[in-house]
Amino acid sequence: MSEVLNHFFKYISFDTQSKDEVEAVPSTEKQRLLAQELAAELRAMKAEDVVVDEHSYVYATIPATVEKSIPVLGFISHMDTSPAYSGAGVKPQIVKNYDGSDILMNQETGLTMKVSDFPDLLKYKGQDIITTDGTTLLGADDKAGVAEIMTMAEYLLSHPEIPHGTIRIGFTPDEEVGRGADFFDVKGFNADVAYTVDGGGLGELEYENFNAASAKVRINGTSIHPGSSKGKMKNALLIAMEFHNMLPVFENPMYTEGYEGFFHLDSMAGTVEQARMDYIIRDHSKVKFEEKKALIKRVEEYLNSRYGAGTVELSLKDSYYNMKEKIEPHMYLIDIAKSAMEELGIEPQVTPIRGGTDGARLSYMGLPCPNLCTGGYNFHGKFEFIPVQSMEKVVELLLKIVEKFTVR
Active-site residue, from 41, 80, 204, 384: 80
Looking at residue 236, the DSSP 8-state letter turns out to be H
- DSSP-derived 3-state class of residue 45: coil
Clarify whether 182 is annotated catalytic. no
User: How many Cα atoms within 13 Å fall on the side-chain side of residue 143?
Assistant: 31
Angle at 367 between CA 362 and CA 369, to 5 degrees: 70
The residues facing 151 across adjacent strands are: none
Give the C-alpha separation, 211 to 117, whole Å.
Answer: 29
Residue 175 bears catalytic tag: yes
- Of the candidates 15, 142, 154, 175, the residue annotated as catalytic is 175
DSSP strands (E only) in 140-273? 167-172, 193-197, 204-206, 211-220, 262-270
Secondary structure class of 134 (helix, strand, coil): coil
Q: What is the CA radius of gyration of the chain?
A: 23
- How far apart CA 3 and CA 381 sit, in angstroms, is 25
Residue 351 vs residues 83, 192, 373: alpha-carbon distances, Å: 25, 24, 11
Q: Facing residues of 78 across strands? A: 172
* DSSP assignment of 64-132: -SS-S----EEEEEE--B-TTS--SS---EEETT--SS-EE--TTT--EE-TTT-GGGGGGTTS-EEE-
Count of alpha carbons within 13 Å of 84, Cβ hemisphere only?
A: 16
Contact 92, 147 (CB under 8 A): no
* Residues marked as catalytic: 80, 175
